[in-house]
Amino acid sequence: MDTQLLISGVIFGLSIGSIYFLTAIGLSLCFGLMRIISLDQLFYYAIGAYITYAISVYTGSMWLGALGGLVVAALCAFAVERFIFLRIYERDIAFTMITSFGILIGGVGIIKAIWGLVPRPVMMPVMTQWTILGTEIPVYRLIVVVIAALVYAGIWLFLNRTITGKAIRAGIESVEHVEGLGINVYRLFTITFILAGTLSGLAGGLHAPLIMVDPQMGLEVMPFIFMVVIIGGLGSIKGTLISALLVGQVVSIGSLIYAPLAQMAPFAIMLLILLIKPTGLFGSTMLKR
């Protein structure tokens, strides 16, 4: 294969993997701590993208839009957590999953009601291209990768250096023990959920200029987020990062070789990994408490 094509393919894969990572980390964290499968993260992803679109049309700045999208996604996550999830944390995992799917579908309905069915373009904030090894690389994609790396570093610092983060990590091991130490775990749940929703909103905002925003975008990206989460193992941040980069590369390089492969290859990899290790690469073997 052509080297130039390969380089741009790798960069494309890195940027798409970063987006997947930002969305999947929410699902993964929520599962790790609260033992819920929060499919509504994809709604925050879509709402983040739509707010980015709306604000960037209004003010002309996509970065401002992404910031707004992030804030609105966080607010939505907070409201949903308060009014819905707080009541059903105790329930069986299948039921939280169905409820969150209901929120996702309802969210698609809300977006349709506000912005209509037509896909909308979002302008690229940085149009410059750098030449690396004789290949033109759009700088925006590199920025996305850098932002994802910063977020990973930030989450790592948050979980390892702050007391709240340490409590969250301890909660992933055993919520009862954390509760026994006198820490309000429901506060932790809220913080984690809002963090997850914010990152999903950020992912949507960053993804918006690379694609068109349309009401079904959350559902379209859903299978890939699933694959990332399943391959990495539910509840593991390191696993999510590795599998997001892996899936990103497979999608990107696969589409260079044979276009439909981009959709099929991650699935084949997922099946292969599940055959060898049914809990994913770094997944916990813990069951619902």
Using CA atoms, how far apart are residues 202 and 226, in angstroms rounded to an integer? 18
Determine the Cα angle at 234 with ends 70 and 259, to 5°.
75
220 CB neighbour count, 10 Å cutoff:
12
Nearer to another protein, 56 or 243 (CB): 243
Nearer to another protein, 33 or 62 (CB): 33
Find the helix packing angle between 185-207 and 41-59, rounded to 10°: 50
CB 253 → another protein: shortest distance, Å? 18
Nearer to another protein, 5 or 264 (CB): 264
CB 264 → another protein: shortest distance, Å? 7
**Residue ranges that bind another protein, judged by CB under 8 A:** 31, 37, 84, 87-88, 91, 93-95, 97-99, 101-110, 112-113, 216, 219-220, 222-223, 226-227, 229-230, 234, 260, 263-264, 267, 270-271, 274-275, 278-280, 287
Nearer to another protein, 208 or 247 (CB): 247
CB 50 → another protein: shortest distance, Å? 15
The string of DSSP letters for 207-267 reads HGGGSEE-TTHHHHHHHHHHHHHHHH-TT-HHHHHHHHHHHHHHHHHHHHH-TTHHHHHHH
CB 251 → another protein: shortest distance, Å? 12
76-77-82-83 Cα dihedral, nearest 10 degrees: 60
Q: Which of 12, 15, 20, 16 is nearest to 225 (CA)?
A: 20
Nearer to another protein, 160 or 263 (CB): 263
The 8-class DSSP code of residue 118 comes to S
Say which amino acid occupies 77. A
Nearer to another protein, 94 or 153 (CB): 94
CB 37 → another protein: shortest distance, Å? 6
Using CA atoms, how far apart are residues 34 and 192, in angstroms rounded to an integer? 9
**233: left (phi > 0), else alpha (psi -120 to 50), else beta?**
left
CB 281 → another protein: shortest distance, Å? 13
